[in-house]
Amino acid sequence: MVAAKRDTSHFVGVLGWPLEVTLSPLMHNVAFRGLGLDWIYLRWPVRPEDLADAVAGLRALGAEGANVTMPHKESIARYLDTLDGDAQAIGAVNTVRRSGDELIGHNTDVVGFSEFLVGDAGVRPEGASVLVLGAGGAARAVVKALADLDAGDITVAARNPEAAAGVVALASDMNRTVGEVAWDEAAGRVDGVDLVVNATPIGMGGETLLGEATFRASQCVIDLIYSPPTTPLIERARAAGASGWGGLGMLVRQAAASFAIWTGRPAPLDAMSAAAIRGIGHHH
């Protein structure tokens, strides 16, 4: 029995660099055990220059798939066979699934953010004005989710103006107009919007973001950083009476969507959430 079980085991993992902090193995392995699935989730730190070899390795070794995190979300697309809906729309992949001999790129950040925003944060974004900080894969997913949810005016600010212009162009492909504001002018826009989303890593090390900004009680501020669970941005927003949320809810929701894509089974969301909270406790 044991040998037969070992023969049927499946493996997935996460590709990222430097991948110092990841709660994904904890969440997924708890989920696999909870549903009695003979699967394992591994951690794969992969340098950008080794990404092509890593994807070839997934093919050769028979992985069921992978999660993809910074800095590979956009660059991995060229090594996959096809891209599914949201991944195709935003040019960013966070989940890879094997189907026969093909590797298919998906993006569960879009649905993860949508479900978190509406289900956890209780925000109804229809018609709301939004400032999104960042222009990488996470920011693209946020903009797509907001567009799908009929948000009002969306403005993007990024340190790299070319990347910001890319998000604006992407939105226009979705028949959405997204505004762009210079990075050093973003703080001045905060008190004029309903929702602020930080999709950059700034704040992970306790750095100040939007230092000159004024928050107000009717706003919602979301920082996609999940470790630490509360960033200086969230603390300042809450101190002004705004609703402030860290990134753990989105992390769990996108993980649950990845789990369902690989296994064809609904994810045990509560167990994954509990594992993530325990994991953050160990990091801090």
Tokens 């700034």 identify what position? Answer: 202
Has 144 been annotated as catalytic?
no
- Would you give the end-to-end CA distance of the chain in angstroms? 41
User: How far, in Å, CA of 109 to CA of 251, rounded?
Assistant: 8
Question: Packing angle between helix 24-34 and helix 269-283, nearest 10 degrees?
Answer: 140
Which member of 28, 72, 73, 236 is catalytic?
73
Question: Crossing angle, helix 248-263 and helix 269-283, to 10 degrees?
Answer: 130
* DSSP per-residue string spanning 134-164: --SHHHHHHHHHHHHTTBS-EEEE-SSHHHH
Measured between alpha carbons, how far is residue 236 from residues 69, 148, 203, 221, 231 in Å? 28, 29, 12, 10, 9
In sequence order, what are the residues at sequence separation of 6 or more whose Cβ sits closer than 8 angstroms to the Cβ of residue 168? 156, 178, 179, 180
Q: Any idea which residues carry the catalytic annotation?
A: 73
